[in-house]
Amino acid sequence: MKTIKGPGIFLAQFAGDAAPFNNLKNICEWAAGLGFKGVQIPTWVSSFIDLQKAAESKTYADEIKGIVNAAGLEITELSTHLQGQLVAVHPAYNEMFDGFAPEQYRNNAAARTEWAVQQLKYAAKASQNLGLKAHASFSGSLLWHTVYPWPQRPAGLVETGFKELAKRWLPILNEFDANGVDLCYEIHPNEDLHDGISYERFLEATGNHSRACLLYDPSHFVLQCLDYLEYIDIYHERIRMFHVKDAEFNPTGRSGVYGGYQGWIDRPGRFRSLGDGQVDFKAIFSKLTQYGFDGWAVMEWECCIKHPEDGAREGAPFIKDHIIRVTEKAFDDFAGTGPNEALNRKILGL
């Protein structure tokens, strides 16, 4: 067993134009002041990091690391959620996802995908330059529009979709492997990797690639009515990252999992600040610790009610109080008799 590192904070939802959220130095000092020990950096926020430069210059990567360390923090991981989304986009979503890419790649799906793939490859090298072992991203989606099939899916559609998804990701996964970094997919609705079965399909299509790992976020499973504790039992060997995010699901006679096109505050399934939802974090931290999870507990704030700064202020102590310092001895050692093979054979009647 290992003691989980933390608390960390994902900076994506806090980035902005006003201080202290306007550059890496300021936001790190703010996070440290709240009690966080690590920051997860969104690589699409140019005021925090230049991803290409971090990949091409170890000196620059050391400068980024130095800014974070000067605030008394560590970099937990980098994130390419937005770029990863663009590795695979069904044409129905082109206009909605175009904003994730620089303006020069919009209205050109092929160029946008090429840019996204290169961004992921930069992320692999940048992670190595920063001394990181895991990286967060989304899988993108070619099949999501068929998730609830009507009319029924043509035979072989799902297999073709995952074959193509794996084809796009394999060169990226190989680049991460070459740099000694695990690529962790956040299992998430609207991604082709949205539950355990879809992840297994992808894993099989990649030849069980050793770097195709998981970012565990229980909030997305609450909203799908998936057993998020058994998920750890099944996939713990692949879980390399952990987003500590809360959620609640309160279905009514009018609306359930799909939400009726309502805004987040009116949906039965809603993301909440830590401690305000229904996730059993005591059980989660216990299971991850039991299985030797060797990573960070990183708060991701997404709440339709509470102010983000309040969520962050409450989140650091919440995570700290849930981290389990592992025991170095068995509780019943005091009653042990020590190794004695002759005694063991006698007890067994041998």
pLDDT in tens, 218-265: 999 999 999 999 999 999 999 999 999 999 999 999 999 999 999 999
* Alpha helices (H) in 43-90, listed in sequence order: 51-56, 58-70, 81-85
Mean pLDDT of 101-129: 97
Q: Specify the pLDDT at position 334.
A: 77
* Backbone torsions φ then ψ of 100, nearest 5 degrees: -80, -15
Q: How far is it, in rounded angstroms, from Cα 110 to Cα 292?
A: 41
Averaged pLDDT, 104-116 = 97
Q: Residue 350: which pLDDT band, with cuts at 50, 70 and 90?
A: very high
CA angle 236, 241, 245 (to 5 degrees): 105
**66: exposed, middle or buried (Cβ count in 10 Å: 0-12, 13-18, 19+):** exposed
Sign of the CA dihedral running 66, 72, 77, 81: negative
Q: Which domains does the chain have, with CATH numbers?
A: 5-347 (3.20.20.150)
The answer to whether 65 touches 97, Cβ cutoff 8 Å, is no
Alpha carbon distance 94, 105 (integer Å): 11
CB 120 within 8 A of CB 146: no
pLDDT at 17 over 90: yes
Would you list the DSSP string of 277-317?
SS--HHHHHHHHHHTT--SEEEE----SSS-HHHHHHHHHH
Beta strand pairing call for 246-249 and 269-272: antiparallel
Backbone angles phi, psi at 10, to 5 degrees: -85, 125
Query: What's the rounded Cα separation, in Å, for the pair 290 and 286?
Result: 6
Task: Tell me the pTM.
Answer: 0.95
pLDDT of residue 60: 98
Q: Give the model's pLDDT for residue 74.
A: 98
Question: DSSP character for 8?
Answer: E
Q: Which two tokens stand for residue 47?
A: 């005021």
Three-state DSSP at 50 gives coil
- Helix, strand, coil fractions of the chain, as percent rounded to 5: 45, 15, 40
Residue 52: which residues within 8 A CB-CB, separation 6 or more? 122
- Tell me: the pLDDT tens digits for 284-339? 999 999 999 999 999 999 999 999 999 999 999 999 999 999 988 888 877 787 88
pLDDT band at 96 (very low <50, low <70, confident <90, very high): very high
Token look-up 């000196």 returns 59
* pLDDT band, very low/low/confident/very high, at 342 (cuts 50, 70, 90): very high
Q: Tens of pLDDT along 23-46? A: 999 999 999 999 999 999 999 999
Number of Cβ within 10 Å of residue 116's Cβ equals: 27
Residue pair 337/343 in contact (Cβ under 8 Å)? The answer is yes
Closest CA to 233 of 185, 184, 291: 291
Distance (Å, whole) CA 220 – CA 135: 19
Mean pLDDT across the chain, nearest whole number? 97
Tell me the C-alpha distance between 186 and 147, whole Å. Answer: 18
- Alpha-carbon distance of 17 to 23, in angstroms, equals 8
Query: Which pLDDT does position 103 carry in this prediction?
Result: 96
When pLDDT is cut at 50, 70 and 90, the band that residue 52 belongs to is: very high
171: which DSSP letter?
Answer: H
* pLDDT for 179 beyond 90: yes
